[in-house]
Amino acid sequence: AGARRQAGGLPQPAVFITAEQVKHGKPQPDAYLLGAERLGLAPHECVVVEDAPAGILSGLAAGCQVIAVNAPA
């Protein structure tokens, strides 16, 4: 994810959420809900960029705006 972010010229996120910080991983919405909370935003104010089906479902379940990308492995 870091290499793709850098290749796209995107800044480092202000908040990182790891699998260890949530009870349920993707496709459950826990990680995105926690991220929105830590940023002080409502989920609908957040944009999720995902290339995996589980991540896309997770973002949608959280109520975020989701951009699905087709990234080669």
- pLDDT above 80: residue 72: no
Q: Write out pLDDT tens, residues 13-47.
A: 889 999 999 999 999 999 999 999 999 999 999 99
Question: Contact, 66 vs 59, CB < 8 A?
Answer: yes
- pLDDT above 80: residue 67: yes
pTM, two decimals, is 0.84
- pLDDT above 80: residue 63: yes
User: What backbone phi and psi angles, to 5 degrees, belong to 42?
Assistant: -80, 145
Average pLDDT of the residues in 59-71: 95
- pLDDT (0 to 100) of residue 3: 82
The arrangement of secondary structure in 2-68, i.e. its CATH architecture, is 3-Layer(aba) Sandwich (3.40)
